[in-house]
Amino acid sequence: MSARLAPSPADPMRPAPWRVRAVRRETADVATLALEPLEGGVPGFAPGQFNMIYAFGIGEVPVSLSGDPADPTRFVHTVRAVGAASAAIVAAAPGSVLGLRGPFGSAWPVDAAEGHDLLIVAGGLGLAPLRPAIYQVLAASERFGRIAVLYGGRGPAELLFRDELAAWGARADVTVAITVDHADPSWHGHVGVVPALIEHVGFDPANTVALLCGPEVMLRFTATTLRAAGVAAGRIFLSMERNMKCAIGLCGHCQFGADFVCKDGPVLPYDRIAARLAVREI
Amino acid sequence: METLERLLLGHKFLAGIDPAFGRLLVGCARNLRFAPGQYLFREGGPADEFYLIREGRVALELHAPARPPIIIATLGAGELVGASWLVPPYRWGFDARATTDTRAFGLDATCLRAKCDADHHLGYEMMRRLLPVMVRRMQAARQQMLDVYGHTSA
Ligand SMILES: Cc1cc2nc3c(=O)[nH]c(=O)nc-3n(C[C@H](O)[C@H](O)[C@H](O)COP(=O)(O)OP(=O)(O)OC[C@H]3O[C@@H](n4cnc5c(N)ncnc54)[C@H](O)[C@@H]3O)c2cc1C
Ligand code: FES
C-alpha cells in the first residue's frame, strides 16, 4: 500500500490541476467536493492524510481527505469556509479547476487497531478526516472488537454526514452516538459534550484504540477522559492542525514542539504530544 | 421492598455502597415511570425529590420568554437528576423533561436530608458521590460555553 501513498507529481511543490466533479452542500458554510485529476490518475491515500488545495490566485490550504480510500476514481474533501482560500474552495462550482498537491502526512493506525475495540471520536468538522477510517473499518468490521463512532457538534443543523451517520447507526456492528452542545426540544438525541458520550458505550479500556479529531479543546478533554477510563496514552491518536506552507517538512511553518505536523503528523499518538497539548500557544 | 433495595443498590450512582446505607436509602425511595414529554419537575417548583435514572433519557431545559426552550444537557441510564434538593431554598433551577419512556428511582429529599443529618457517615457518603457528578457537569457546562465548534477553533 505504501507505494501508492507517494505524492502524485514529481515536484511535490507544484499543484496539479484537478476538476471539481461534484459539490454537496453539507451545512451553511461546509461543502464536500469530489475532485478528479486533469493529468494522470488518482493517487492512493491512507485515512488521515491531507492534500494542499490551491484556489488559484487566492491561497493554498491543507484539507484532509474525507472520501473512501477504496474509491480510486476521485478525491473527496469536506471544507468549511473560514477565510479567503477555504471560502473560495467551498464556493467552487462543478467544472471549475483547483490546484492540488498531496497526499501528505501520517495516517490513522487502522490496520494496527485490528483485534482491538475501536473508539472513533469526532467533534464538528473533525468527522471529515475520520470518515475514510470509518469506511475502511466498516468494510472489514469483523477484524475489530466493538466499534463505536462518537460525534459531537454545536447544534443539530451543524452536524455533518447525517444520512451516513443514520446508516451506520442502523448497523449491528457499530454503535453510533451523537451529541450537540445546545438544541431546542425538537432534537431527541443527546445534549452535552463529547467526552460524556464515552461512558455510554461499552469498550475494554485495556484493549482499545481511540482515534480523535476535532477542535483542540475537545481533543484535550476527550483524551483526558479516555486516560481516566484506562485507555493507554499510546493507543490514543489525535489529528492536529497547524498552519502550513510547504507541507513536506521544509519550511517549519507547522512546527509543533519537536514534530512537524505536515510530515510527522497530522495524526500523532497522545503519549508523544500530551505535554505539548497542555501548553498554551505552541 | 427487598427487590426495590436490590434494584436501587444496583444503580450506578450507588455502586459499591455499604448495604447498611442502602437500607437507609431505600426507605426514602420509590419507583417511577415517565412518559415521553412528561416533566419530572419544573423550574421554581419545590425540590422535594431527586431522581436516579434507570433507563430512558431526560432533558434539562431552560426557558426564556418568546423563545423556544433550550436543552442544556440530557441525562441517561445510571445518572442522577437534580441537586437543588441539597441547597436551600430547595427550588428547581430548570425543567427536567423525559424525552423517551423513562424509569427512575425517586428519592424523597426531606426523608434523605433527615437521614443524612442524623447519620453523618451516610451524609458524607452521599456528598462523596454527589460532588464528582456536580464537578463533571460544571466542567461540561464550561466546555459548552467555549463554543469550541465555532469558526476560530476548528
Ligand atoms: C492537516 C490539516 C487538515 C485540515 N483539514 C481540514 C478539512 O478537512 N476541512 C477544513 O475545512 N479545514 C481543514 N483544515 C483547516 C484549513 O486548512 C483551514 O481552515 C484553512 O487553512 C484556513 O485558510 P483560509 O485562507 O481560508 O483562512 P485564513 O485567512 O487563514 O483564516 C481565516 C480565519 O479562520 C481562522 N482559521 C484558520 N485556520 C483555521 C482552522 N484550522 N480552523 C478554524 N479556523 C481557522 C483564522 O484564525 C482566521 O480567523 C485542516 C488543517 C490542517 C493543518
Ligand atoms: S508546512 Fe512546511 S514544514 Fe510543515
- pLDDT (tens digit per residue) in B64-102: 888 888 999 999 999 999 989 989 999 999 999 999 999
Q: Quick one: average pLDDT of A125-152?
A: 97
* B131: contact with A, CB 8 A cutoff: no
pLDDT band at A1; cut points 50, 70, 90? very low
Cell digits of residue A93: 462550482
CA distances B23 to A127, B53, B120, Å, are 47, 19, 15
Residue B1, helix vs strand vs coil: coil
* Lowest-confidence segment of A75-79, A123-127, A277-281, B99-103 by average pLDDT: A277-281
Other beta carbons within 10 angstroms of residue A2's beta carbon come to: 8
Q: Is the pLDDT of residue A4 over 70?
A: no
Pocket test for ligand 1, best of A24, A241, A245, A260 (most atoms within 8 A of CB): A241
Q: Are A64 and A239 in contact (CB under 8 A)?
A: yes
| Side-chain-facing half-sphere of B83: CA atoms under 13 Å | 12
Interval A192-233: pLDDT, tens = 999 999 988 989 999 999 999 999 999 999 999 999 999 999
* A47: contact with B, CB 8 A cutoff: no
- B115: distance to nearest CA of chain A, Å? 31
Give me the pLDDT at residue B154, please. Answer: 41
Q: State whether the beta carbon of A61 lies less than 6 angstroms from ligand 1.
A: yes
Q: Report the phi/psi class of residue A105: left, alpha or beta, with left for phi > 0 and alpha for psi in -120 to 50.
A: left
Give me the pLDDT at residue A275, please. Answer: 87
Q: State whether the beta carbon of A52 lies less than 6 angstroms from ligand 2.
A: no
Contact B76 A200 (CB under 8 A): yes
The CATH number fitting domain A16-104, selected from 2.40.30.10, 3.40.50.2000, 2.60.40.10, 2.60.120.10 = 2.40.30.10
Q: Domain B2-147 falls in which CATH fold?
A: Jelly Rolls (2.60.120)
Give me the pLDDT at residue A281, please. Answer: 59
Give me the pLDDT at residue B65, please. Answer: 85
Q: Are A144 and A206 in contact (CB under 8 A)?
A: no
Pick the more confident residue, B134 or B154.
B134
Give the Å distance between the CA of A237 and the centre of ligand 2.
20
CATH class of the A111-239 domain in this structure: alpha beta
Interval B15-46: pLDDT, tens = 999 999 999 999 999 999 999 999 999 999 99
Question: What residue spans in chain A does CATH classification 3.40.50.80 cover?
Answer: 111-239
Q: Quick one: average pLDDT of A144-168?
A: 96
Closest in B71, B140, B147 to A154, CB measured: B147
Question: What residue spans in chain A does CATH classification 2.40.30.10 cover?
Answer: 16-104
> Choosing among B71, B137, B151, which should be mutated to test the A contact, i.e. which has the most A CBs within 10 A?
B71
Give me the pLDDT at residue B24, please. Answer: 92
Q: Is the pLDDT of residue A78 over 90?
A: yes
Q: What is the mean pLDDT of chain A?
A: 93
Pairing of strands B70-76, A75-80: unpaired
d(CA A192, CA A246): 38
Q: State whether the beta carbon of B152 lies less than 6 angstroms from ligand 1.
A: yes
Please state, for a pLDDT cut of 70, what percent of chain B lies above it.
96
The 3-state secondary structure of chain A, one letter per residue: CHHHHCCCCCCCCCCEEEEEEEEEEEECCEEEEEEEECCCCCCCCCCCCEEEEEECCCEEEEEEECCCCCCCCCEEEEEECCCHHHHHHHHCCCCCEEEEEEEECCCCCCHHHCCCEEEEEEEHHHHHHHHHHHHHHHCCHHHCCCEEEEEEECCHHHCCCHHHHHHHHCCCCCEEEEEECCECCCCCCEECCHHHHHHHCCCCHHHEEEEEECCHHHHHHHHHHHHHHCCCHHHEEEECCCCCCCCCCCCCCCEECCEECCCCCCEEEHHHHHHHHCCCCC
